[in-house]
Amino acid sequence: MLGAIADDFTGATDLATMLRRSGHRVAVVIEDGALPAGDGGAVDAVVVALKTRTAPVAEAVRASIGALGRLRAWGADRCYLKYCSTFDSTDTGNIGPVLDALADALDAERVVVVPSLPANGRTVYHGHLFVGPDLLENSSMRKHPLTPMTRSRVAELLRPQTAHEVAEVPWETVRLGGEALRSALAGTSARYAVVDAIEDADLLAIGAATADDVLVSGGSGLALGIPGPRRGGAPWVAPPPGRGAVLCGSVSRTSLAQVAHAALDRPVRRIDLDAALADPGAEAAAIADWVLTRPPDTAPVVCAARERADVRAEVGGTPGAVLVEAVLADVAARLVSSGQVTALVVAGGETSGAVVRALGVGVLHIGPELAPGVCWATADAHGRGIAIALKSGNFGGTDLFTRAWEALR
Ligand SMILES: Nc1ncnc2c1ncn2[C@@H]1O[C@H](COP(=O)(O)OP(=O)(O)OP(=O)(O)O)[C@@H](O)[C@H]1O
Ligand SMILES: O=C(O)[C@@H](O)C(=O)CO
């Protein structure tokens, strides 16, 4: 029984997608939603989705320890802390403090640190994190508004966040396989070990070497090395047929390209931020009405920006992001309560948090994969069954917003 704690909602479904691939029956519990039945129940892995990536440190630690307690009561005998594959954090936290608190609570002597997700171009070699061919510090993450990543060596990123020692295990050791890696890890006195991984085989070796560890940590890639029981669970059941819509609050390069691709053959509408400032409820109502009056099989796209120039730090003194999140959350609630929309693709971690909260979702039942780290899930939204796919900003192919629907037919 694996209990995982993710520091954002899209990261939680990313991890659940990978756990499903490695043979787990997995559910994602939103914040303090009810956990599913324990041993003998329908799942053998639970991911608790938190919104702690950029929360104040004390709040992130408190929420994570709270989630750990609930997971242990559910029956978890191992814990996985999921953070971003680009190690999104600052010198003051939150990855180090949360790891310290979990390791103390679990009496973990040593914890691996494995951000790698090769399927999406995140690799670690000689301790340096790469995004595709670029060092992390030279990727678009350098300019991230909340967690700008200006260094690439994972140990250097973690050290300011913890008083414990941080060691590095090079790829030359990882490639020797699980047993050699286990011995190397046993030989280090450091609490944390950043382990290189440049391809999935490395993640399998790390998984094997840490099979007895009570706490592991990483992006979602490490889940590929944690085999599940492969018991056939209840089959995933798509929601009742209905309209679909995309709600995109992400303004990452990938998301903007996905919006541009969708615009080639379906309606796209951008939120009017000035109208949203004047009356957010009216702007959301107008957008929801627009969605519901498009041809039923078009899956229109509502977005916050078509290009980077559309991004406004503030609108009449209100942060643009606050308006975007309020409108998209309200649009989602209106579409679902209309009873006509039964499937939503939501793009962006912050956006997903706002939408999922507005829909009152407690549990996501993981379904088919749309791209590495992106999947459909079913959920109960205030009594209505829906399918929802939470997409991390940088994940998915250009055609994700147009092809996602095929998996529901
Ligand atoms: N036009 C805009 N003006 C101001 N803020 C915007 C605008 N469009 C989007 N935003 C804000 O930008 C933020 C995008 O963050 P979000 O986490 O949703 O996407 P992301 O960072 O691409 O995804 P991820 O966290 O999964 O990598 C949101 O808070 C959103 O409200
Ligand atoms: O690990 C990743 O890159 C994603 O799951 C994520 O957390 C992006 O916000």
This model's pTM is above 0.90: yes
Domain locations in the chain as residue ranges: 2-225, 243-408
Show the tokens assigned to 365: 């039942």
Parallel, antiparallel, or unpaired: how do β-strands 314-315 and 318-319 relate? antiparallel
- Tell me which residues have their CB closer than 6 angstroms to ligand 1: 10, 249-252, 255, 304-305, 310-312, 320-321, 324-325, 348-351, 392-394
> What spacing in Å lies between the alpha carbon of 166 and ligand 2's midpoint?
23
> What spacing in Å lies between the alpha carbon of 306 and ligand 2's midpoint?
22
pLDDT at 146: 82
- Long-range contacts of range 163-167, CB-CB < 8 Å, 24 or more positions apart? 163/100, 164/100, 164/190, 164/191, 164/192, 165/189, 165/190, 165/191, 165/192, 166/113, 166/190, 166/191, 166/192, 166/193, 166/194, 167/192, 167/193, 167/194
pLDDT tens digits along 175-234: 999 999 999 999 999 999 999 999 999 999 999 999 999 999 999 999 999 999 877 767
Closest CA to 47 of 117, 227, 25, 109: 25
17 lines ligand 2 (CB under 6 A): no
2-225 and 243-408 share one fold: no
Q: How many CB atoms lie within 10 A of CB 296?
A: 12
Name the residue with the closest Cα to ligand 1, atom 16: 348
User: Which of helix, strand or coil describes residue 210?
Assistant: coil
| Spans of the chain, pLDDT less than 70 | 38-41, 233
pLDDT at 36: 83
CA distances from 353 to 52, 223, 404 (A): 11, 23, 20
255 lines ligand 2 (CB under 6 A): no
Q: Is the dihedral of CA 209, 214, 218, 224 positive or negative?
A: positive
pLDDT at 213: 98
pLDDT at 39: 56
Q: Which class is domain 2-225?
A: alpha beta
CATH topology of domain 243-408: Molybdenum Cofactor Biosythetic Enzyme; Chain A (3.40.980)
